[in-house]
């Protein structure tokens, strides 16, 4: 494993060295950059990943820290609507599962985004993914309202902020919607059928607070419901984090965190509400920065009631990832990550994935993105593998 890791890191370094020489100056992107006339690297260390200032801006209810009294609402400024899309070449080969190999140029997705201030004390974010019928050159996507939340910052104190609606809960220490790779975080995607993985956005209420390098979050969100069910219950989570040194632990300083999650879900829509069974997650994480390097670490332990998996015993598993990112300039990012899920092979809970890629920004709102990922999953009938490569352009306007 050490040999493989060294090869990935060496390849990432080579990628950085080649692309860094091509890096130009940056421009500007919507929606927030259009409002202020900023370039995207004000809030991003390579969009869509936030930097320290971007974390502060989001946490402050989409208001510039220290300039809250000068803010304009969505009715007073430029259009608060943007569009994002991604297009390019995909190669995806499966072995011992579907046996399918995909080789094609494709439009990979599109969504509409809006964000800003409803008033000086209420910010919002809205992301809609439209329904798209798949075809030879267009990837199918299911229409959904991915995010629609309102945040009320500093209700008398920085230790009390409120977010309501559909949002990305704080139990995911590293955003699954703003991460650098197209390959998913396996630790956040793994779970029982019909469940809501950590990578999903959820409906509910979240309170947060921060100060002196310490932060907390706690929330109540809708529990996952089986298909065809209109009855829901609530899940609960809490998170605490501490930042050491200057910064927010995103691009400067060192951040460590603890997360706990408790929920109940029904394994089948035909069963009554009292048939809900429990599941839980507990984890630790860290974000460590040194010069232009960031090391992100996540470990989760999960325990699910046996009924949710159709097993005779409860399922216990561990999952996590280690991701090394390198930011040699505002126009270049390289990353390498290893994901792992460890649990019963009979449940498909033995997963390993290597991912290597980079993002080069010829303009602030355009990213040229090559990426390779290899995934292996242990199953009762033998291991299933996936080799994925993409070279695409990710853009927003």
Structure confidence at residue 270 (pLDDT): 65
3-state secondary structure of 83: strand
Class of domain 2-396: mainly beta
What mean pLDDT, rounded, does the chain reach?
A: 87
Residue 124 has pLDDT above 70, yes or no: yes
* DSSP letters spanning 231-277: ---EEEEEEEEEEESSS-SSSSSEEEEEEEEEEEE-S-TTS-GGG-E
Q: Which residues contact 161 (CB under 8 A, 6 or more apart)?
A: 59, 61, 151, 152, 153, 154, 155, 207, 208, 209
Instruction: Return d(Cα 267, Cα 308) in angstroms, integer.
Output: 5
Q: Which residues contact 124 (CB under 8 A, 6 or more apart)?
A: 62, 114, 115, 116, 117, 118, 148, 149, 150, 151
Task: Characterize the bridge pairing of strands 144-152 and 254-265.
Answer: unpaired
Residue 25 has pLDDT above 60, yes or no: no
- Angstrom CA distances, 241 to 65, 171, 248, 255, stand at 21, 11, 10, 7
47-64: average pLDDT: 88
Q: How confident is the model at residue 213 (pLDDT cuts 50, 70, 90)?
A: very high
Token pair listed for 238: 């809490």
**Separation of CA 275 from chain center:** 31
| Contact by Cβ (8 Å): 259, 282 | yes
Please tell me which residue, 139 or 228, carries the higher pLDDT value.
139
Please tell me which residue, 323 or 363, carries the higher pLDDT value.
323
**pTM (two decimals):** 0.88
Is 48 buried (19+), middle (13-18) or exposed (0-12) by CB count in 10 A? middle
Q: Which residues contact 337 (CB under 8 A, 6 or more apart)?
A: 181, 183, 321, 322, 323, 324, 353, 354, 355, 356
Cα first-last separation, the chain: 41
| Contact by Cβ (8 Å): 204, 222 | yes
Residue 275, number of CB atoms within 10 A of its CB: 13
Structure confidence at residue 268 (pLDDT): 74
pLDDT per residue over 226-261, tens digit each? 555 556 679 999 999 999 998 899 999 999 999 999
Instruction: Return d(Cα 20, Cα 37) in angstroms, integer.
Output: 26
What is the percentage of the chain residues whose pLDDT exceeds 70? 88
Structure confidence at residue 17 (pLDDT): 41
pLDDT per residue over 339-391, tens digit each? 999 999 988 899 999 999 999 999 888 999 999 999 999 988 788 999 999 99
Structure confidence at residue 231 (pLDDT): 60
Side-chain half-sphere of 184: how many Cα atoms within 13 Å? 12
Residue 32 has pLDDT above 90, yes or no: no
Residue 102 has pLDDT above 60, yes or no: yes
């Amino acid at each position: 494993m050490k040999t493989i890791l060294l090869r990935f890191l060496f390849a990432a370094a080579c990628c950085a060295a080649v692309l860094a020489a091509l890096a130009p100056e940056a421009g500007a992107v919507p929606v927030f950059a259009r409002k202020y006339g900023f370039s995207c690297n004000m809030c991003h260390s390579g969009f869509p990943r936030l930097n320290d200032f971007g974390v502060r801006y989001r946490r402050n209810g989409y208001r510039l820290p220290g300039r809250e009294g000068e803010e304009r609402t969505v009715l007073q400024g430029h259009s608060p609507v943007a569009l994002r899309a991604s297009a390019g070449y995909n190669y995806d080969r499966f072995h011992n599962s579907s046996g399918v190999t995909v080789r094609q140029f494709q439009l990979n997705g599109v969504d509409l985004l809006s964000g800003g201030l409803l008033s000086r004390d209420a910010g919002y974010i809205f992301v809609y993914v439209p329904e798209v019928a798949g075809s030879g050159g267009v990837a199918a996507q299911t229409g959904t309202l991915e995010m629609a939340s309102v945040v009320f910052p500093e209700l008398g104190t920085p230790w009390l902020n409120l977010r309501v609606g559909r949002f990305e809960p704080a139990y995911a220490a590293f955003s699954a919607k703003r991460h650098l790779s197209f390959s998913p975080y396996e630790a956040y995607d793994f779970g029982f059928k019909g469940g809501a993985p950590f990578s999903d956005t959820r409906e509910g209420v979240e309170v947060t607070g921060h100060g002196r390098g310490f932060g907390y979050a706690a929330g109540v969100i809708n529990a996952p419901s089986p298909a065809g069910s209109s009855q829901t219950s609530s899940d609960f989570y809490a998170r605490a984090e501490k930042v050491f040194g200057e910064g927010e632990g995103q691009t400067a300083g060192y951040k460590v965190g603890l997360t706990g999650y408790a929920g109940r879900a029904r394994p089948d829509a035909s069963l009554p509400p009292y048939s809900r069974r429990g599941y839980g997650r507990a984890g630790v994480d860290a974000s460590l920065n040194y010069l232009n390097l960031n090391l992100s670490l996540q470990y989760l332990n999960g325990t699910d009631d046996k009924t949710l998996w159709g097993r005779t015993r409860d399922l216990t598993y561990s999952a996590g990832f280690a991701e090394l990112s390198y930011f040699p300039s505002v126009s270049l990012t390289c990353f390498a990550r290893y994901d792992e899920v460890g649990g019963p092979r009979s449940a498909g809970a033995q997963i390993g994935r290597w991912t290597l890629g980079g993002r080069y920004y010829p303009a602030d709102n355009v990213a040229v993105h090559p990426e390779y990922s290899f995934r292996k999953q242990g199953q009762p009938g033998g291991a299933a593998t996936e080799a994925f490569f993409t070279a695409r352009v990710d853009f927003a306007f």
